[in-house]
Structure 1
């Protein structure tokens, strides 16, 4: 069984990411935020329209994580001046705990090297203890806190975490 990463380029692939987002977010985030906020965030940040805009207008790259050709998760990144913003890293519930996050992290190091970036940074909900523990295990450190207004009366109460990368040219 091998995990591969397929760069999202077609409308069908964008639709697959949006479907994964809906399934994963509604299952996972319900313990952390309200269903209304999840649905608002899905519509505004992970719908077909929102993902298409991120790809075409904002410089994001999305990748489908595939196990033997089946979509099991996705990664969304945005290369910046000297760091990679890890915007999304989600795996379907039945595939978590099988080492696929480590495979995803190795892939992210390849992305950093390809773009000559020296760090990966991300935001994570301050109450998302499971994700924080995974990121810390992978070498990320909390560097600051952030409360961001995302509209409609909702805020993201996050840690910003970062991992420095040793580039391999």
Structure 2
């Protein structure tokens, strides 16, 4: 299976990513949070302007997960204090269960090794059982819980998970 991870940088790529994000979020999160919160979070975190600002001003790197010429998902990371924060990790519904997550995590771990980073951490909604199961299967463990006020009356009610990376 050939999966590549092109870095998102051009306005056209950012627009394509934003469209993919809206598609995935509206399909996936409807059973976990309200549509109003989904729409708010897409606008705040995955709109063209939000992604552009994250890349240009906040140090985030976005990558497509791409098979042939088709994006099957995307992820976003930021290195902070010697750790890699996995901010976004999403695979489209029709592409789940095909081994893409394993390939993407191998890519992320290789990025960590190349940069001398020995920890990946993430936040995941505490009710997102299927994603928590995937992260646990990939070696992540829950280290704490956090509730973050994201504005407009919404909160993110999350587990913080970590995985140690063995850098030689």
TM bucket by the smaller chain? Answer: over 0.9
Aligned residue pairs total: 168
Matches for 1:1-169 after TM superposition, within 5 Å: 1-168=1-168
**Structure 1: 5+ residue runs without aligned partners?**
none
- Residue deviations 1:58-77 (CA, integer Å, cap 9, x gap): 00000011001211100100
| Distance apart, 1:80 and its partner CA | 1.2
Give SS of 1:5's match: coil
CA contact (8 A) 1:79 1:115 kept: no
Give SS of 1:98's match: coil
- Residue deviations 1:91-117 (CA, integer Å, cap 9, x gap): 110000000000000000011122211
Q: In angstroms, what is the RMSD of aligned CA positions? A: 0.7
Give SS of 1:4's match: coil
Distance 1:56 1:111 in 2: 20
Structure 1's consecutive aligned runs of 4 or more residues displaced over 4 angstroms after TM superposition are none
CA contact (8 A) 1:8 1:64 kept: yes
Distance 2:15 2:116 in 1: 30
Could you state the TM-score of these two structures normalised by the residue count of structure 2?
A: 0.98
Distance 1:15 1:149 in 2: 27
Distance 2:130 2:65 in 1: 20
Could you state the TM-score of these two structures normalised by the residue count of structure 1?
A: 0.98
